[in-house]
Amino acid sequence: MISSTPLTTRLRHQLQSRTLREAVSQGRLTVESLARLDVLARLYTDAWAPDVAPWLAAAIHCPQQGHVGVRINTEHWRALGSVQPQRLAELSCVTALSQANQDAAVQTPFVLFDDPQSYPEPLLMTQRLWRTQKALVNALTTLMSTSLEPIDHLETKLDALYGSDSSEAKRAAALVANNRFAVINGGPGTGKTWGIKRILALLLSEAHRNNQHLEICLTAPTGKAAVRLKEAIGEQLILLRDCGVDERVIDQLTSLVPSTLHRALGSNPAQPQRFRRGADLPLGADVVVVDEASMVDINVMRHLCEAVAMGPGRLILLGDPDQLTSVGAGSVLSDLVAAHQSGQSSLEQQIATLKTSHRFAQAASINCVATLLQTHQSDAIALAFDLFRAIASKDPRWRSQCLADPLEADGQPRRFVWQKTTTSALSSTQLDELATGYLARSQSQYPRRAPGPIWQILEAIDADEDLSDPHVQQRCLQSLHNYRVLCAHRNGPRGVQGINEALSARARALLGSRATMTPSGHWLGQPIMITRNADDLGLRNGDVGLILPNAQGSLCALFARNDEIEHISLAALPAHQSAFAMSIHKSQGSQFGHVAIVLPAKVGSAVCTRELIYTALTRAQHDVSWYGSEAVLKDALSKRASRNSALVSLLRLPTAT
């Protein structure tokens, strides 16, 4: 328990309860959440009853675990004991609601929402998060109920932009063109950003035809994701000329500068969950695009939807609901897709799913595993488990797909390499193996892996090349994207910190005296990752660079900026860390040739879920190696990162009476 939390006499007495102590030890409660309940209990004296206090405190604490509320008497919350929903509904601090009376006024600090048609167990949440969900649904309803002027000859125009082989993408584009609110969801490489620039080209062309100005706001949850969106929009724009797109439209697309969602909404750094933009101060843009929407929590999404709904524009969300969810409470994108798939929501004409991946054209088994994990069916998970362990699939459908891969045409899986390990730390041999992706040219086991940055530096030195030469530096920076170690945990010998220390020691040993550490703790060849935005330097949380000498021979940090290299003084760098390894969470939106996944040593990690494995897997373009045990992988694939919320219920159409 956290000793810095002030404890009243009553709270000290309550903490003698075995149920509360166990719930705190298991992370379902904190002393802080109990202290907040203690304050509320001064007005609502029945809140400290032994059978209900754990549940009320959990409703206060659960947003820190990503949940909007707690599902009563479910397995996840077993440590809180057992309580009858009617008992909670009778408390003076709780308002009981159902879908039928969901618009009733709420004055109490807690809401108990019951919707047995969607969930057998009611949801207990704070009043603030209840109001947040209601406000989000109201904003979505406003967006969906507003009709748009139809685009003349839409099908013909989409044929010109998409060609004859993109029916899936054209259906998504037509959905966007006809609605103020639209979601395009799909796995990596399915063409979400490829399609959005064509949709924007269509909308800009229509604006030009009608002598109108169209303001476009491109956003993403993080600075790194915003930069990637800019790059994706800018890729191969020249091809739009062949589709008959006006040069002015291409120029406008080229000039678009994405921002973070927090910046677009006007967040206050001192209060990051409060925004200037919202229902009272709408966004003025005509089109708002949000990439990586799975990372947007419910509070930010509420303000975003209100800011667009009360303004003139339309909102387009892009994302993959199977990836990791937001750091904050809620899983809005997953909930929207789930509500749509239920067939009972008002989202029938708002959501398009792209299923055909183009990223893994040369790595069929990686694509097979990603597709299997998206199905969420037990037999599919079992097949994915086999492929992860390099066991050839016996299922005819998946076997034929894997055999289409030239590398696996003989039926022997080669895209996945399993490095078995059950000890708390990786062995020295396994750490050497992890390091070779950065230190060596290639290995017989991974002939497709391109040379790493340390190997590039040593080759340049042996060839008597100048490490400050832009061509050499470009080569070294590009090699950073060939390979990456991804860890499930941040701390511990198998976490980001421990792996970075081990691989840094091996890289410095290979470089010898050339890698002497500077007073600031940097050394030649060190890959670094920025961990805090620095707008004045154009650096974003998640940007990866390399320590190399400048023209004067002094070490500095190099970052790739499109086709240019930016040099940043070591003294000017914002918070950063070594980047031989990064967390799977941080890797979202990135892609590398070869990914090495380091799993925890023991079964039971709360963060190790199917979504985590799926996210790590789909960062790889052609090879995956993973370090862990069968038991840990099987446990992770069996768990979904489901989050409790009322959003699916609130989006469900009312049942006719």
Q: By the 8 A CB rule, do 641 and 613 touch?
A: no
Condensed to tens digits (0 to 9), the pLDDT of residues 80-127 reads 888 999 999 999 999 999 988 999 989 999 999 999 888 889 999 999
- 343, 358, 373 - which closes a domain: 358
Query: Which tokens hold the place of 129?
Result: 């998060």
pLDDT of residue 655: 55
Domain assignment present for residue 571? The answer is yes
Q: Which amino acid is at 95?
A: T
Domain range for residue 493? 414-638
Q: Give the span between the Cα atoms of 106 and 516, in whole angstroms.
A: 64
> 228 and 180 in one domain?
yes
Domain assignment present for residue 202? The answer is yes
Condensed to tens digits (0 to 9), the pLDDT of residues 232-247 reads 888 888 888 888 889 9
| Count: domains in the chain | 3
pLDDT of residue 340: 93
> 79 and 161 in one domain?
no
> 261 and 177 in one domain?
yes
> 456 and 310 in one domain?
no
Q: Give the span between the Cα atoms of 325 and 108, in whole angstroms.
A: 29
Q: Which amino acid is at 579?
A: A
Q: Give the span between the Cα atoms of 510 and 512, in whole angstroms.
A: 5
pLDDT of residue 226: 87
> 551 and 587 in one domain?
yes
Total number of residues shown for the chain? 657
> 270 and 122 in one domain?
no
- 127, 160, 191 - which closes a domain: 127
Q: Give the span between the Cα atoms of 582 and 527, in whole angstroms.
A: 11
Q: Which amino acid is at 230?
A: K
Query: pLDDT-derived band of residue 381, with 50, 70 and 90 as boundaries?
Result: confident
From residue 238, give the alpha-carbon distance in Å to each of 156, 197, 289, 562.
21, 12, 21, 16
Query: pLDDT-derived band of residue 446, with 50, 70 and 90 as boundaries?
Result: low
Using the structure block, give the residue that is written with the tokens 């086999």.
Answer: 386
Per-position DSSP letters for 403-447, written without gaps between them: HTSGGGTTS---SEEEEE--SSS--HHHHHHHHHHHHSS--SS-T
> 306 and 246 in one domain?
yes
pLDDT surpassing 70 at residue 362? no
Condensed to tens digits (0 to 9), the pLDDT of residues 414-439 reads 788 888 988 889 999 999 999 999 99
Q: Please, what is the average pLDDT of the chain? A: 89
> 98 and 165 in one domain?
no
| Cβ contacts of 236-241, under 8 Å, gap ≥ 24 | 237/197, 240/161, 240/197, 240/198, 240/201
> 241 and 156 in one domain?
yes
> 486 and 452 in one domain?
yes
The CATH number linked to 611 is: 3.40.50.300
Domain assignment present for residue 132? The answer is no
Domain assignment present for residue 121? The answer is yes
Q: Give the span between the Cα atoms of 209 and 153, in whole angstroms.
A: 13
pLDDT of residue 2: 42
Q: By the 8 A CB rule, do 580 and 503 touch?
A: yes
Q: Where are the beta strands (DSSP E) in 206-311?
A: 216-220, 259-260, 267-268, 271-275, 287-290
Q: Give the span between the Cα atoms of 224 and 95, in whole angstroms.
A: 42
> 613 and 486 in one domain?
yes
pTM: 0.89
